[in-house]
Structure 1
């Protein structure tokens, strides 16, 4: 087996309209599908961010029901040359940077939250390369 990448990342929120405004309007991610009270799907490069209403999703038979509680984490990847610019753009959008970490390899990443409290991170390309 040779798995190439994680294609989808899923988070859960009951307020899908606020999620749509944040991800599609504020962060300008392209909308794939939006069904109020059910789901929001947005394109993130070659991947997809799935936002499900947990009350709807856990009732499904197919695909299998799923849901989670608490602060879910995922990271957006940007070119290393765009890291500082992306951080500045996030700040200019009025989004608070909650933390910035310098990792053992000397690269940095920063964290912020979406309106549901999920923890988002921005990482430069190559952060996971040894």
Structure 2
């Protein structure tokens, strides 16, 4: 019940309440070659499968991270270059945040924010992928 209006909450019977996790995440790649190199070589994500040159999947725990060329959204206006379309956060241990920062710098990736302890209890590191998406490596501290 919505206590303010005393009406039944429309979400109570929603079939979407059955959703428990994100199964896969799709990143629409503007530059597939650069994005594939970044996620496979720089970040070292394990290739799960390549269904076509336009659909490449990486296995990350219980999630599949996919690089794809737009199909259903191909007619959409493109995200302007230099603009993030999404933010992804990858959880590691506190020591690994610094190790990831060192590896990114070694690979020539510019850090937007070096490893930093945040007041809300995370150690964070921010950088971008070749398409400009915001990526975060973090640990709970």
Question: Do both proteins adopt the same fold according to a TM-score greater than 0.5, normalized to the shorter chain?
Answer: yes
Count of residue correspondences: 118
1:95: how far off?
A: 0.6
Distance 1:67 1:42, change over 3 A: farther
Distance 1:11 1:119, change over 3 A: same
Task: State how 1:1-130 maps to structure 2 within 5 Å.
Answer: 1=17, 3-34=19-50, 35-36=52-53, 38-54=54-70, 56-58=71-73, 69=79, 70-71=83-84, 72-100=86-114, 101-124=116-139, 126=140
Q: Unaligned stretches of 5+ in structure 1?
A: 60-65
Cα deviation per residue 1:12-50 (whole Å; 9 max; x = unaligned)?
A: 1132122111111221111123322x2221122332111
8 Å CA contact 1:99, 1:111 repeated in 2: yes
- For the residue of structure 2 that corresponds to 1:21, the secondary structure is helix
Matching residue of 2:4: none
Q: Which moved more, 1:89-98 or 1:44-53?
A: 44-53
The CA RMSD measured in Å over matched residues stands at 2.5
Distance 1:18 1:94, change over 3 A: same
Q: Unaligned stretches of 5+ in structure 2?
A: 1-16
Q: Could you state the TM-score of these two structures normalised by the residue count of structure 1?
A: 0.74
1:121: how far off?
A: 0.6
